[in-house]
């Protein structure tokens, strides 16, 4: 779990991991230079549970943070939980069981529910309805959440690309899809929180640029760059929302 200024949601994220029914795991929290109370919150849980380890580092961005955080872990399987999201209690048990039983599968991903800032469930994520295929992944990021990955396969593809300032998980999934079988566990075992400080909102243009880069690199690896041309269409969306009382008084 990488963290950058997530004090509002961090406790809930940590507690959802510690509440897993499968107990044999390690939770590494890599703080990427937070300036709020995130470190203090993480340290509080570290004192209570020996499975949790906190590393505090200078701010480098999520790509670098993920790369270095995963390098500090030792488990046979690895998964990434965003510091504003939640796991269902049986997420690790169910995904690890699938990998335990089917050694030919290198990654399993689950369905997810969208929640708001208060944790209210808004519905099943739209990507859950997209059937998985390695070719389909070139244009639809259906392997969105949650993913449990065999470490040996992760290392085979070189892991997270630390140079990606956004879309790191998409780039990783594209590379994994080229070397291993991927399974879809059709259960909503992850809670994806949507709010105004989501990375996808704050770094939207950067997200688009690095997604485009990931697809073009995948086309080259697959020998398809001379057969297929990527076209990117960006649509602006405008929304109106009520002002809070505090905002009206400023």
Give pLDDT, residue 76.
97
Fold category of 2-224 in CATH: Spore Coat Polysaccharide Biosynthesis Protein SpsA; Chain A (3.90.550)
Give pLDDT, residue 226.
87
Of the candidates 214, 83, 66, the one whose C-alpha atom is nearest the C-alpha of residue 154 is 66
Give pLDDT, residue 245.
58
Phi, psi of 33, deg, nearest 5: 75, 35
The distance of Cα 47 from the centroid of its chain, to the nearest Å, equals: 26
Instruction: Give the CA dihedral 110, 190, 40, 160, nearest 10 degrees.
Output: 30
Domain ranges of the chain: 2-224
CB-count exposure of residue 32 (10 Å: 0-12, 13-18, 19+):
buried
What does the mean pLDDT of the chain come to? 93
User: Does residue 199 have a pLDDT over 60?
Assistant: no
Phi, psi of 73, deg, nearest 5: -95, 165
CB 191 within 8 A of CB 101: no
Give pLDDT, residue 114.
97
Looking at residues 87-104, what average pLDDT do you find?
98
Give pLDDT, residue 232.
80
In total, the chain counts a number of residues equal to: 250
Rounded to two decimals, the pTM is: 0.90
User: Does residue 248 have a pLDDT over 60?
Assistant: no
Give pLDDT, residue 198.
60
Residue 119 backbone zone (phi > 0: left; psi -120 to 50: alpha; other: beta)? left
The distance of Cα 6 from the centroid of its chain, to the nearest Å, equals: 15
CB 197 within 8 A of CB 241: no
């Amino acid at each position: 779990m990488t963290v950058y200024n997530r004090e509002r949601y961090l406790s809930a994220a940590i507690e959802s991991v510690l509440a897993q029914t499968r107990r044999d795991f390690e939770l590494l929290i890599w703080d990427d230079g937070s300036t709020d109370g995130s470190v203090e919150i993480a340290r509080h849980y570290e004192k209570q549970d020996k499975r949790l380890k906190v590393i505090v580092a200078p701010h480098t961005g999520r790509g670098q943070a993920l790369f270095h955080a995963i390098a500090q872990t030792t488990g046979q399987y690895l998964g990434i939980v965003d510091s504003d999201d939640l796991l269902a209690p049986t997420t690790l048990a169910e995904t690890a069981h699938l990998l335990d039983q089917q050694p030919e599968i290198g990654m399993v991903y689950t369905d997810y529910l969208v929640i708001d800032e208060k944790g209210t469930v808004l519905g099943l994520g739209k990507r859950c309805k997209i059937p998985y295929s390695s070719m389909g992944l070139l244009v639809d990021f259906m392997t969105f959440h949650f993913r449990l990955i065999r470490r040996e396969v992760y290392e085979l593809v070189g892991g997270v690309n630390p140079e990606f300032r956004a879309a790191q998980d998409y780039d990783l999934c594209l590379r994994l899809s080229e070397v291993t079988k991927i399974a879809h566990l059709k259960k909503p075992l992850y809670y994806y929180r949507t709010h105004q400080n989501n990375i996808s909102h704050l770094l939207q243009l950067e997200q688009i640029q690095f997604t485009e880069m990931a697809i073009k690199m995948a086309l080259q690896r697959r020998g398809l760059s001379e057969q297929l041309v990527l076209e990117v269409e960006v649509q602006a969306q405008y929304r109106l929302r009520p002002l809070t009382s505090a905002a009206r008084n400023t």
